[in-house]
Amino acid sequence: MTSKARMKILVVEDDPDMMEQMKIYLESEGYEVLAASNQKEAEPLIRPGAFAAAVLDLMMENPDSGFVLSHRIKKMDARIPVIIVTSVTRETGFYFDKSRDPKDWIKADAIIHKELRFEQLKGELRRLTGAGEGHD
């Protein structure tokens, strides 16, 4: 075990199986996970210094819960990277336009479409936080 503190990631996901999978994966990659299963549970966790990045499901108890949480995080500290994970394409046919920067219109740094590939999540976290291979 290394003496440096592990990077803390806020993960908000209402699917218990997906939450458990993300938690296991992120912890195996050396991150500490701060978990919430919905917007209501996550809101009190959004405070300065509580986490270094966030991975948010888009549709939870409200269809826009992920957008709302992302907005609150960015309002608190615009430097905190936010990744939104969504199955909205599969459920509605709507696809987020990757030619536009998500930060311009939804206050998130990246969007990952489900079926989530954990390597993709790892890559986005590394890209957005600057955590290199030595982070593990």
Of 88, 24, 85, residue with least CA distance to 56: 85
Predicted confidence at residue 102, as pLDDT, reads 47
Which domains, from first to last, does the chain contain?
8-129 (3.40.50.2300)
Are the beta carbons of 64 and 91 closer than 8 angstroms? no
What is the per-residue pLDDT across 76-117, written as a single tens digit (0 to 9) for each?
Answer: 999 999 999 887 554 444 445 554 554 455 678 888 877 767
Q: What is the pTM of this model?
A: 0.79
